[in-house]
Amino acid sequence: SDPVLRVQDLAVQFVSQTGNLLQRRERILRAVDGISFDLEPGETLGIVGESGSGKSTLARAILGLIKPCRGRVLWRGEDLTKLEREALREKRKDIQIVFQDPVASLNPRMTAGAIIAEPLWTFYPQMERLQVEERARGMMKLVGLLPNQINRYPHEFSGGQCQRIGIARSLVLNPRLLICDEPVSALDVSIQAQIINLLRDLQKKLGLALIFIAHDLSVVRHISDRVMVMYMGRSMELSEKHALYRKPLHPYTSALMKSVPVPDPELARKLRQELWLKDDTPSPFDPPRGCVFHTRCPYVVRRCKVDVPPLRRLESGDWAACHRAEELDLTV
């Protein structure tokens, strides 16, 4: 089938001024630098990378909240980056987002029902009050909340329940694509699986396409069909889920996999360093030449410091941006 979403060579840059009155300098940050992928209807793409790798900026650019400096976002064949505000707003019905911090993203002075119904009032102002309330109750039930709690305020719910309210709000307009930007990062580990399972069930039931962003590979493992790994605004690997967890194609994916969460942060830091970290993340204002990962890569060769490895399709059908992808065996 045709992809619902096609992202082509998308790039976003931020310009910041530094220096003093006499000597002004412009610094350019390429937050997203040439990202491409397709998303099939009903498919889940996991996007993983460390903080600052450009995941949220990519999500915002897809939603039209940030103007890209290059590239296209084709939604059912129509380029969203070319649309005027009104037309783009209309598309928002189709593409919704779930935010990272459920408590902070809910208005504390609104009831659960009012929060969930808000998009309905915005898009269908003439809708009957009773009908709106009915719909809000239905949404609460759908996400595993008690409909009779419709008049409660966010502080009367737990963090996990607040995220369920956030999910209900994002689904109330019947979108076709849901972008979840680290939807479980702010939640207790014990609650994370519940929310991930809920999203997976909803995705199946409603036939949604889903983009699920996380900073940890283990979080997206069960929900994703394919996984894209980002580093410094670029895509390092884009692989079918089972292939990626069995035999990553890119040294950075392999490194992320080894940096499994360890309860003791000091030990985790040491382990990470011993395992693979040769260097800290380079400054995003001054990315390394050649392969952006070369300052941290254990497999670096001379060529890596000179030539940029393009994201290319390998024999397996999966994609990697590494000169040595064929010759390295990174089997887990």
30 or 250: CB nearest ligand SF4: 250
Query: Which CB, 76 or 215, lies closer to Mg ion?
Result: 215
Give 49 or 119: the residue with its C-beta nearer to ligand SF4.
Answer: 49
The residues, ordered by sequence, that sit 6+ positions from 242 with a Cβ below 8 Å of its Cβ are none
Residues 140 to 159: which contact ligand SF4 by CB under 6 A?
Answer: none
Taking CB under 5 A as the criterion, the residue among 56, 170, 192, 235 binding Mg ion is 56
C-beta of 185: minimal distance to Mg ion in Å?
8
- Pick the closer one to ligand SF4 by CB: 48 or 162: 48
DSSP one-letter code for 89: H
What is the phi/psi pair of residue 270, to 5°? Answer: -65, -45
Min dist. Cβ of residue 232 to ligand SF4 (A): 12
Q: What is the DSSP string of 121-176?
A: HHH-TTS-HHHHHHHHHHHHHHTT--GGGTT--GGGS-HHHHHHHHHHHHHTT--S
User: For residue 87, what are its two tokens?
Assistant: 């037309």
What is the closest distance, in whole angstroms, from the C-beta atom of residue 162 to ligand SF4 in the complex? 39
> Which strand ranges, in their side-by-side order, compose the sheet holding 44-48?
95-98, 177-181, 209-214, 44-48, 226-231, 234-240, 319-320, 312-313
111 touches which of ligand SF4, Mg ion, none (CB within 5 to 8 A by kind)? Answer: none
Query: Shortest gap between Cβ of 252 and ligand SF4 (angstroms)?
Result: 6
Q: Which does 56 bind (CB under 5 to 8 A by kind): Mg ion, ligand SF4, none?
A: Mg ion
Q: Token digits for 232?
A: 């410094």
CB 228 within 8 A of CB 7: no
Site string for ligand SF4, 221-260 (x = CB under 6 A): -----------------------------xx---------
Question: Closest approach of Cβ 301 to ligand SF4, in Å?
Answer: 6
Token pair, residue 7, equals 């992202």
With H, G, I as helix, E, B as strand and everything else as coil, classify residue 235: strand
* Binding to ligand SF4, residues 252-311 (CB under 6 A): 291, 293-294, 297, 299-300, 304, 309
Question: Tell me, what amino acid is at 88?
Answer: L
CB of 328 to ligand SF4, least distance (A): 7
What per-residue string of b and e applies to 144-167 under the rule 16 or more CB within 10 Å gives b? bbebebbebebeebebbbbbbbbb
Q: Which stretch binds Mg ion (CB under 5 A): 20-28, 54-62, 65-73, 87-95?
A: 54-62
Residues of this chain that bind Mg ion (CB under 5 A): 56
Residues of this chain that bind ligand SF4 (CB under 6 A): 250-251, 291, 293-294, 297, 299-300, 304, 309, 322-324
